[in-house]
Amino acid sequence: MKHATRSGQGAIALLLVVLGTLLQGTAAEPNPDLGINLRIAATSTIATAAKDMKTTFDDLDAYNTPLVNDYPAMVKIKTGITNITIGIAAGGMALADQVLYLTQNNSNNVNAAFAPVFASIVSFRNLLQTGLTVPMAAISSQSNITRDKLNINFRDLVTRLNTLNSTMEALRAGLAAARTASVTSPPLNTNLLNKFVFPYHYTDVKDALLAIKATIGSTTNIARELIDNIKDADDFITTASDAALSEMDTVTLTDQSFEGELINIGASINVAVTDMVDQLYIPQTEILTTSKSMLESISTYNSSFKPTLITLNTTLNNAYNFEGLFTNYTVTLNRSIASTASIDNLFKQEFCPVILAQIRSLLASGPYATFCYKKYSDLLTNQFSITSYDQVECKDIEQTRLYTLQQMT
């Protein structure tokens, strides 16, 4: 019984040894990596760096905001920065995808596996050097400061891409040499690979990818600053437009009310003065009419008396022409008190240039653009209400004077 037990234990031990051998063989089965038939642990660090870089490029593409107003200069520069971020994001994510594909490549052909990565580097570099001329011109039209920042950033990116290209080439050369050596030597293994590829090769590639990621972070900051300023400019245009339109409505209503009062007061004064003139002059004109034939028979009528009567008649007619007098008064008044048209011109001639200067400052993204906007935008907008208030006050005062004139008559 004991012997049978020992035999059973031996069989179990033998089974465990066989299973262990099978499992060891399965674990040691090569998994293609970086274009060679061998799993390389350091590849995971390259893949992680590529994923991080891709995420950063994706963030650059995602940072955008719609515009409410269609001010041409603002739309132009917004289109320019959007096209730049979209182009760079697309180029960067394409490069990241090729690096990720390389880390999983099972072609067992090192040169062919690396070729798409090198092609993506060249394509991305060409984009940065010559492919963004049109959107950069749009940026330059309003913002030389942002243009200069982007040019510096693009040069840094090109330098980082050149570094990535060099480190990738060094890694490729080492892997290719190891693959070539394995043809005449024992099958490719870690020991043979380590003769041609050293840990710093993987680290250099990883660091190059992370350096690109960091530089793209600067690109995102430049784009974010400009887009934030564009958004402020868009909001400012909306606020200023709403304020101007609101005050124009107030001025229009005041003008209509004032003109109505001018008509009413003029008519009232006309009636009052006409009554006084009628009471004073009608009896005299009746006497003159009755005595006209007698006057005309006087020998000196044509030479002396007729001119006097004509002058009197003209004077009386002018006294009755209050409508004409008030028409002239109204014209003179509107020259001295701001009318709707004059307020409109004031907005255009005085405030619009200042508003445009504020918008251009934001689009230029200078070092003090945001500070000036936050400090002065409300003051600029308030000028509309201050101006219309002054205009309304002037007309209220003049209307009071007209009421006094009406009461005197």
CA atoms within 13 A on the CB side of 358: 25
Q: What is the pLDDT of residues 28-81, one digit of tens each?
A: 333 446 667 567 777 888 999 999 999 998 888 776 778 888 888 889 999 999
Range of the domain at 339: 241-408
Angle between helices 43-62 and 72-103 (to 10 degrees): 160
Instruction: Classify the C-alpha dihedral 166-170-175-177 as positive or negative.
Output: positive
Residue 9 counted as domain residue:
no
DSSP conformational letter for 68: S
Q: What predicted TM-score, i.e. pTM, was given to this entire model?
A: 0.68
Residue 22 counted as domain residue:
no
CA distance 332 to 160: 73
Q: Specify whether 55 is located in the same domain as 108.
A: yes
Number of domains in the chain: 2
* DSSP assignment of 255-267: HHHHHHHHHHHHH
Q: What is the pLDDT of residues 162-212, one digit of tens each?
A: 999 999 999 999 988 888 887 665 567 788 888 888 999 999 999 999 999
Q: Specify whether 371 is located in the same domain as 397.
A: yes
Of residues 303 and 220, the one with the higher pLDDT is 220
Cβ-in-10-Å burial (0-12, 13-18, 19+) of 333 comes to middle
Instruction: Look at residues 229, 263, 286 and tell me which one is the last residue of a structural domain.
Output: 229
Q: What is the pLDDT of residue 407?
A: 72
Q: What is the pLDDT of residues 118-175, one digit of tens each?
A: 999 999 999 999 999 999 999 988 878 899 999 999 999 999 999 999 999 999 999 8
Looking at the predicted structure, is the pLDDT value of residue 323 above 80?
A: no
